């Protein structure tokens, strides 16, 4: 009870401080901050299953919060013009959505048109082409639907057991493996749970459908919409050989151009995993900017190829105290907040 009262009073204080401009940016150098989102979901059951998804309402409120603090929205295609005199603001904001989930489509379409919010969407063209399933959505669904309490899978010559509740542990293990090993581990999981059909996986709350080329092309009719490569099929840049990164990134760019007409120069690292070497490879493949998930802003005068992104958590009635803490933490260097 006491905790609830503290939370509520914290929220009220935050709202008052927000309306009095306490969180306003105070900077003398141009900065570019990028917010990263994934899915937009309203079903509470699905929100629990997919922790990166937030409600469309809290997403829009978060963008508005950033604007209130002094950020000006721009599209990624304007990034190289920010040195021009007409860009006389000091803080710029770019909105990005990863993975191209279908549950974002209607919202992005309305926001482009009605709210004039520019959006960069990072897609995996091979998955779009094949109406694929992201491997972690499949893993979560298989763990949930498996008939046994434990499953034994061979990893690195060992045979660890995973229980039904170990899906996160299993996913973390998968993320660290070279991509080919990840694929063979997924094969093992599929074989051991071969009684689960694809339809059952697609019916699971863990599965999120992705947009088709027609949907992406509808969004791309708007000049405020940009497309980034998110690899071919979400393979992590640091988990594949250099040559494969080169070939896959070029192929992803070509597929995006062929299917949408948009010649992207942006590469959004799946899971944010990257290195100086991967930047160098992608730069040679024609990408002018890469995007990580390092939660900090970017100073315009020190941007080379890679840009950091903040994870958008949504500005909602249940997280305002945490929101204030997060904002202060991420912006403390820029704003002298007492
Ligand atoms: Zn992703």
User: Is residue 35 assigned to a domain?
Assistant: yes
Q: Which residue has the tokens 């929205």?
A: 73
CATH of the domain at 84: 3.20.20.370
User: Is residue 2 assigned to a domain?
Assistant: no
Q: Are residue 220 and residue 193 in the same domain, yes or no?
A: no
From ligand 1's centre to the CA of 233, what distance in Å? 9
Return the pLDDT at 13: 74
From ligand 1's centre to the CA of 64, what distance in Å? 24
Return the pLDDT at 329: 87
Write out the residues surrounding ion ligand 1, Cβ under 5 A.
98-99, 270
From ligand 1's centre to the CA of 295, what distance in Å? 16
Residue 130, classified by CB atoms within 10 Å of its CB into exposed (0-12), middle (13-18) or buried (19+), is exposed
- Give per-residue pLDDT as tens, 73-103: 999 999 999 989 899 999 999 999 999 999 9
Q: Are residue 190 and residue 120 in the same domain, yes or no?
A: no
Domain-terminating residue out of 172, 203, 234: 203
From ligand 1's centre to the CA of 136, what distance in Å? 10
Q: Are residue 188 and residue 242 in the same domain, yes or no?
A: no
The Cα–Cα gap between 57 and 61 comes to 6
The Cα–Cα gap between 120 and 97 comes to 6
Q: Are residue 231 and residue 107 in the same domain, yes or no?
A: yes
Other beta carbons less than 10 A from residue 233's beta carbon = 20
Q: Are residue 197 and residue 229 in the same domain, yes or no?
A: no
Domain-terminating residue out of 153, 182, 203: 203
What separation in angstroms does the CA of 133 have from each of 100, 129, 254, 271? 12, 11, 21, 16
From ligand 1's centre to the CA of 97, what distance in Å? 9
Domain-terminating residue out of 176, 203, 230: 203
The Cα–Cα gap between 106 and 315 comes to 20
The Cα–Cα gap between 49 and 16 comes to 33
Token representation of residue 103 = 């549950």
From ligand 1's centre to the CA of 234, what distance in Å? 6
From ligand 1's centre to the CA of 203, what distance in Å? 21
User: Is residue 168 assigned to a domain?
Assistant: yes
From ligand 1's centre to the CA of 338, what distance in Å? 36
Q: What is the average pLDDT score of the chain? A: 92
User: Is residue 105 assigned to a domain?
Assistant: yes
Return the pLDDT at 333: 66
User: Is residue 232 assigned to a domain?
Assistant: yes
The Cα–Cα gap between 9 and 13 comes to 6
User: Is residue 126 assigned to a domain?
Assistant: yes
Return the pLDDT at 260: 98
DSSP output for 188-220:
HHHHHTTTS-HHHHHHSTT---B--HHHHHHHH
Instruction: Work out how many domains the chain is built from and give that number.
Output: 2
Q: Are residue 117 and residue 215 in the same domain, yes or no?
A: yes
Return the pLDDT at 213: 98
From ligand 1's centre to the CA of 238, what distance in Å? 14
Q: Are residue 115 and residue 140 in the same domain, yes or no?
A: no
Return the pLDDT at 328: 86
Return the pLDDT at 91: 95
Asked if residue 193 lies in contact with residue 134, where contact means CB atoms within 8 angstroms, the answer is: no
From ligand 1's centre to the CA of 98, what distance in Å? 5
From ligand 1's centre to the CA of 169, what distance in Å? 18
Please enumerate in sequence order all residues whose Cβ is within 8 A of that of 60, keeping only pairs 6 or more positions apart, or say none: 107, 111, 115
Give yes or no for residue 314 having a pLDDT over 90.
Answer: yes
- Give per-residue pLDDT as tens, 20-77: 777 888 888 899 999 999 999 999 999 998 889 999 999 999 999 999 999 999 999 9
Could you tell me which residues are beta bridge partners of residue 161?
152
The Cα–Cα gap between 117 and 73 comes to 7
From ligand 1's centre to the CA of 235, what distance in Å? 9
User: Is residue 15 assigned to a domain?
Assistant: no
Other beta carbons less than 10 A from residue 112's beta carbon = 19
From ligand 1's centre to the CA of 211, what distance in Å? 14
From ligand 1's centre to the CA of 49, what distance in Å? 16
What separation in angstroms does the CA of 237 have from each of 100, 210, 246? 19, 21, 10
Return the pLDDT at 338: 45
Determine what percent of the chain is predicted with pLDDT higher than 70: 95
User: Is residue 43 assigned to a domain?
Assistant: yes
Q: Are residue 109 and residue 248 in the same domain, yes or no?
A: yes
Torsion angle defined by CA atoms of residues 10, 16, 18 and 23, in that order, rounded to the nearest 10 degrees: -80
Give yes or no for residue 293 having a pLDDT over 50.
Answer: yes
From ligand 1's centre to the CA of 13, what distance in Å? 35
Local structure of 148: helix, strand or coil: coil
Domain limits at 195? 135-203
pLDDT tier at 337, thresholds 50, 70, 90: very low
Asked if residue 203 lies in contact with residue 133, where contact means CB atoms within 8 angstroms, the answer is: no
Q: Are residue 116 and residue 144 in the same domain, yes or no?
A: no
From ligand 1's centre to the CA of 81, what distance in Å? 27
Q: Are residue 174 and residue 87 in the same domain, yes or no?
A: no
From ligand 1's centre to the CA of 95, what distance in Å? 15
Give 217-278 as a 3 state SS string. Answer: HHHHCCCCEEEEECCCCCCCHHHCCHHHHHHHHHHHHHHHHHHHCCCCCEEECHHHCCCHHH
Q: Are residue 96 and residue 237 in the same domain, yes or no?
A: yes
Q: Are residue 41 and residue 172 in the same domain, yes or no?
A: no
What separation in angstroms does the CA of 168 have from each of 171, 208, 337? 5, 17, 37
From ligand 1's centre to the CA of 149, what distance in Å? 29
From ligand 1's centre to the CA of 189, what distance in Å? 21
Please enumerate in sequence order all residues whose Cβ is within 8 A of that of 279, keeping only pairs 6 or more positions apart, or say none: 290, 305, 306
């Amino acid at each position: 009870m006491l905790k609830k009262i503290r939370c509520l009073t914290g929220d009220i204080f935050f709202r008052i401080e927000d309306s009095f401009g306490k969180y306003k940016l105070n900077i003398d150098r141009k900065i570019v901050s990028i917010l990263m989102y994934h899915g937009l979901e309203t079903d509470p059951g699905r929100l629990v299953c997919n922790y990166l998804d937030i409600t469309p309402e809290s997403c829009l409120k978060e963008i508005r919060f950033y604007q209130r603090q002094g950020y000006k929205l721009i599209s990624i295609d304007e990034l190289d013009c920010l040195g021009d005199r007409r860009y006389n603001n000091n803080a710029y904001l770019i909105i990005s959505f990863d993975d191209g989930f279908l549950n974002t489509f209607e919202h992005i379409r309305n926001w482009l048109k009605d709210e004039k919010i520019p959006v960069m969407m990072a897609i995996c063209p091979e998955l779009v082409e094949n109406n694929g399933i992201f491997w972690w959505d499949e893993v979560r669904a298989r763990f949930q639907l498996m008939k046994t309490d434990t499953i034994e899978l061979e990893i690195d010559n060992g045979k660890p057991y995973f229980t039904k509740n170990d899906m996160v542990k299993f996913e973390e293990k998968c993320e660290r493996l070279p991509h080919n090993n990840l694929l063979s581990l997924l094969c093992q999981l599929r074989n051991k749970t071969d009684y689960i059909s694809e339809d059952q996986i697609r019916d699971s709350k863990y599965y999120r459908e992705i947009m088709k080329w027609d949907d992406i092309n509808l969004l791309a009719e708007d000049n405020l919409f940009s497309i980034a490569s998110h690899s071919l099929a979400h393979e992590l840049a640091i988990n594949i050989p250099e040559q494969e990164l080169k070939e896959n990134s070029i192929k992803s760019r070509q597929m995006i151009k062929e299917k949408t007409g948009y010649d992207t120069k942006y590469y959004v690292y799946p899971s944010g995993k990257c290195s100086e070497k991967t930047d160098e490879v992608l730069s040679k493949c024609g990408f002018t900017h890469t995007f990580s998930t390092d939660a900090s802003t970017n100073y315009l005068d020190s941007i080379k190829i890679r840009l950091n992104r903040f994870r958008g958590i949504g500005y909602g009635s249940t997280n305002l105290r945490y929101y204030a803490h997060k904002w202060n933490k991420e912006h403390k260097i820029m704003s002298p907040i007492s």
